């Protein structure tokens, strides 16, 4: 499979994930700006930490299970679903680094919503064991860090919606 065919496939995924704005790419100078690149360096490292944290939660749950502890279904679902969703954030981050506005928007949305959902679930008494609640709090704090980078003035300006031309079409750069 050639790189062109892989990119063609990814553009189809982008079209599905990005909706009607999937074609919008930010200007090259915004994408390559040192502050944009620095933000994505931090974001990628924070996502790596999230992935390691999520994988660690799965390993810990398996270990506790093999030691004879009953692991509630909610713990298995939470660990596996959040691990998969965190992996998906890498796709959004990678496509956003390439300048795709839709990917930036999705990454920013999830980085702002995940901590709220995670903390609400962690606050439900007896839903998760203490180790899982701790993991969720750490996950939320790191995701808030990702959201902080994505909502900075620079990043919002770099990924702003393009101006509409007089014919009513958004101009893609």
Over residues 149-163, the mean pLDDT reads 93
Residue 137 has pLDDT above 70, yes or no: yes
pLDDT in the model for residue 61: 95
Residue 82: HSE in the Cβ half-sphere, 13 Å Cα cutoff: 29
pLDDT in the model for residue 158: 95
Provide the H-helix boundaries in 3-99.
3-18, 28-31, 34-66, 73-97
Q: What is the pLDDT of residues 16-72, one digit of tens each?
A: 666 677 788 999 999 999 999 999 999 999 999 999 999 999 999 999 999 999 999
């Amino acid at each position: 499979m050639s790189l062109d065919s892989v990119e063609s496939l990814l553009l189809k995924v982008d079209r599905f994930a990005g909706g009607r704005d999937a074609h919008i790419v930010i200007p090259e100078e915004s994408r390559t700006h040192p502050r944009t690149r620095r933000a994505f360096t931090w974001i990628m490292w924070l996502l790596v930490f999230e992935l390691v944290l999520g994988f660690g939660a799965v390993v810990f749950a398996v270990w506790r299970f093999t030691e004879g502890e009953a692991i509630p279904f909610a713990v298995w679902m939470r660990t596996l679903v959040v691990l998969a969703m965190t992996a998906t954030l890498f796709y959004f981050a990678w496509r956003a680094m390439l300048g795709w506005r839709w990917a930036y928007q999705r990454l920013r949305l999830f980085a702002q919503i995940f901590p709220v959902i995670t903390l609400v679930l962690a606050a439900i008494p007896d839903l998760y064991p203490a180790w899982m609640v701790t993991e969720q709090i750490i996950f939320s704090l790191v995701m808030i860090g990702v959201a902080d980078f994505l909502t900075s003035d620079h990043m919002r300006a770099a990924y702003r919606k393009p101006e509409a031309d007089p014919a009513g079409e958004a101009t893609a750069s």
